[in-house]
């Protein structure tokens, strides 16, 4: 999955993303607060939800992305569609599911410029033939996911990963024994490609692939030299009702060892947890995925920023679309990967640094960027 181009419109909230071209590896979205950086990430993430049957009021999209099949051949997909806009109503019954769904007005899917799906409100034409009547609320990718030509498309769109979850949300977690047993007979790639939560993947990695877990530990301890060891420990949770199986009382947690002390995940600093989360995400995400992260510098100290930035810069197998306000982050990524976000009223536009004649020299580029953003900030305030 490598997103090449996206155009997006939200009629309910009246904002539009002008066509934006993405780079293959790293895209750093920079701009003033309120320019629309987070909206762009959410728009990209919504494509995954739509492909899995989600219904988005008033949303229209047009995305172009590439993928590599099992034979190593690259394919280019174009997927566009539009949901109807349903006006908000005060008297909406919470019991009615239909009130949460809107119909698709049109949808098109092409592979290597060959039309696969051509959908209107009247019919879905799949590979030149009209399908039986199907749900008007779900994307054709979801409805036809069992078809050999559609399954790879859905698989690719599911490779969009929004890094929101942090390990600190789960001080302890239950990992069913059958998960461990399943992956004892499987491969590391199968674990990476699974839909399991990050903390469950980490537990399986620790139990089944210790050498690979040690790679994560090595990176983590290089960032935090005082940490001597990282372990996953199984403990009993006596708050679980006694009538339940003893297996359900066993939960897994992270244990950190420093000189003379051990402490659990609940006592780790936010910077440690965030760093460990990113390392695990980068290591446990399969190749050719698109990683989204909003202001990924949050909670990271300068030692963490340096190491995590290096991890992202050196990873050429993933596409990153991230936002940042932090001068250190911006300065440590080449201006060639800056994607400068500006907004005029409801129109969000993204351009390259060269479009604003920003210097290729990193030392001067940041000053040029500040001037560009200040000019656009002044224009935005005048519009208000």
Residue with tokens 């999955």: 1
pLDDT the model gives residue 322: 95
Q: Look at residue 221 and give its three-state secondary structure.
A: helix
What are 312-354's pLDDT values in tens digits?
Answer: 888 889 999 999 988 888 988 999 999 999 999 999 999 999 9
pLDDT band at residue 377, thresholds of 50, 70 and 90? low
* Backbone phi and psi for residue 87, each to the nearest 5 degrees, phi listed first: -65, 140
Q: Look at residue 237 and give its three-state secondary structure.
A: coil
pLDDT the model gives residue 240: 46
R_g of the chain computed on alpha carbons = 23
For the chain, give the longest Cα–Cα distance: 70
Of 225, 258, 285, the residue that ends a domain is 285
Residue with tokens 């987070």: 38
41 lies in the same domain as 174:
no
46 lies in the same domain as 135:
yes
* Backbone phi and psi for residue 292, each to the nearest 5 degrees, phi listed first: -110, 135
Please give the structure tokens belonging to residue 27: 């895209």
292: left (phi over 0), alpha (psi -120 to 50) or beta: beta
Q: Which residue has the higher pLDDT, 91 or 163?
A: 163
69-72 long-range contacts, CB within 8 A, separation 24+: 69/152
Cα dihedral value 326, 316, 62, 89, nearest 10: -50
16 lies in the same domain as 53:
yes
* Backbone phi and psi for residue 67, each to the nearest 5 degrees, phi listed first: -150, 165
Please determine, for residue 241, whether its predicted confidence score (pLDDT) is greater than 70: no
Give the integer Cα–Cα distance in Å for 188 and 86.
45
101: domain CATH number? 3.40.50
pLDDT the model gives residue 378: 55
Please give the structure tokens belonging to residue 252: 């897994």
Residue 296 lies in a domain: no
10 lies in the same domain as 155:
yes
Say which DSSP state 95 is in.
T
Q: Which residue has the higher pLDDT, 274 or 350?
A: 350
Residue 294 lies in a domain: no
Give the integer Cα–Cα distance in Å for 135 and 138.
6
132 lies in the same domain as 234:
no
* Backbone phi and psi for residue 301, each to the nearest 5 degrees, phi listed first: -75, 175
Say which DSSP state 5 is in.
E
123 lies in the same domain as 69:
yes
What percentage of the chain has pLDDT greater than the value 90?
Answer: 58
Contacts of 189 (CB under 8 A, 6+ apart): 286
> What is the span of the domain harbouring residue 268?
167-285
Of 285, 318, 347, the residue that ends a domain is 285
149 lies in the same domain as 178:
no
190 lies in the same domain as 244:
yes
147 lies in the same domain as 18:
yes
Please determine, for residue 91, whether its predicted confidence score (pLDDT) is greater than 50: no
The overall average pLDDT reported for the chain is 87
292 within 8 A of 159, measured Cβ to Cβ: no
Q: Is 48 exposed, middle or buried (0-12, 13-18, 19+ CB in 10 A)?
A: buried
290 within 8 A of 318, measured Cβ to Cβ: yes
10 lies in the same domain as 138:
yes
Residue 295 lies in a domain: no
| Helix or strand holding residue 59 (H, E) | strand 59-68
What are 93-143's pLDDT values in tens digits?
Answer: 334 344 579 999 999 999 999 999 999 999 999 999 999 999 999 999 999
5 within 8 A of 40, measured Cβ to Cβ: no
33 lies in the same domain as 123:
yes
Cα dihedral value 278, 283, 288, 292, nearest 10: -10
134 lies in the same domain as 194:
no
Residue 152 lies in a domain: yes
Residue 226 lies in a domain: yes
- Provide the number of structural domains found in the chain: 2
What are 49-86's pLDDT values in tens digits?
Answer: 999 999 999 999 999 999 988 888 999 999 999 999 99
Give the integer Cα–Cα distance in Å for 270 and 264.
13
Burial code (b: 16+ CB inside 10 Å, e: under 16) for 217-240 equals bebbeebbeebeebebeeeeeeee
Residue 292 lies in a domain: no
Among candidates 202, 161, 205, which has minimal Cα distance to 186? 205
Residue with tokens 């399969």: 286
């Amino acid at each position: 999955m490598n997103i090449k181009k996206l155009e997006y419109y939200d009629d309910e909230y009246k904002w539009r993303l002008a066509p934006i071209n993405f780079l293959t590896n790293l895209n750093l979205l920079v701009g003033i607060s309120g320019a629309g950086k987070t909206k762009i990430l959410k728009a990209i993430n919504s494509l995954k939800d739509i492909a899995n049957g989600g219904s988005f009021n008033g949303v229209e999209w047009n995305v172009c992305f590439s993928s590599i099949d099992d034979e190593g051949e690259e394919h280019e997909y174009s997927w566009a569609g539009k949901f109807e806009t349903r006006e908000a109503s005060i008297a909406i019954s919470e019991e009615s599911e239909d009130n949460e769904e809107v119909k698709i007005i049109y949808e098109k899917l092409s592979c290597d410029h060959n039309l696969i799906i051509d959908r209107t409100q009247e019919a879905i034409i799949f590979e030149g033939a009209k399908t039986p009547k199907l749900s008007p609320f779900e994307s054709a990718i979801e409805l036809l996911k069992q078809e050999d030509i559609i399954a790879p498309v859905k698989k690719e769109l599911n490779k969009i990963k929004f890094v929101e979850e942090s390990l600190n949300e789960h001080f302890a977690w239950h990992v069913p024994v059958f998960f461990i047993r399943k992956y004892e007979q499987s491969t590391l790639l199968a674990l990476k490609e699974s839909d399991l939560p990050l903390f469950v993947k980490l537990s399986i990695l620790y139990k089944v692939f210790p050498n690979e877990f040690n790679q994560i530990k090595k990176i983590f301890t290089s960032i935090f030299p005082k940490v001597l060891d990282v372990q996953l420990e199984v403990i009993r949770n006596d708050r679980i009702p006694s009538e339940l199986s003893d297996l359900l009382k066993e939960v897994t947690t992270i244990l950190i060892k420093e000189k003379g002390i051990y402490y659990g995940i609940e006592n780790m600093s936010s910077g440690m947890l965030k760093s460990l989360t990113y390392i695990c995400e980068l290591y446990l995400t399969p190749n050719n995925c698109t990683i989204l992260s909003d202001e990924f510098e949050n909670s990271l100290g300068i030692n963490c920023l340096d190491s995590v930035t290096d991890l992202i810069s050196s990873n050429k197998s993933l596409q990153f679309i991230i936002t940042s306000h932090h001068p250190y982050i911006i300065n440590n990524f080449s201006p060639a990967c800056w994607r400068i976000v500006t907004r005029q009223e409801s129109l969000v536009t993204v351009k390259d640094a060269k479009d604003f004649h920003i210097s290729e020299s990193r030392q001067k580029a940041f000053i040029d960027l500040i001037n560009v953003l200040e000019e656009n900030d002044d224009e935005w305030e005048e519009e208000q």
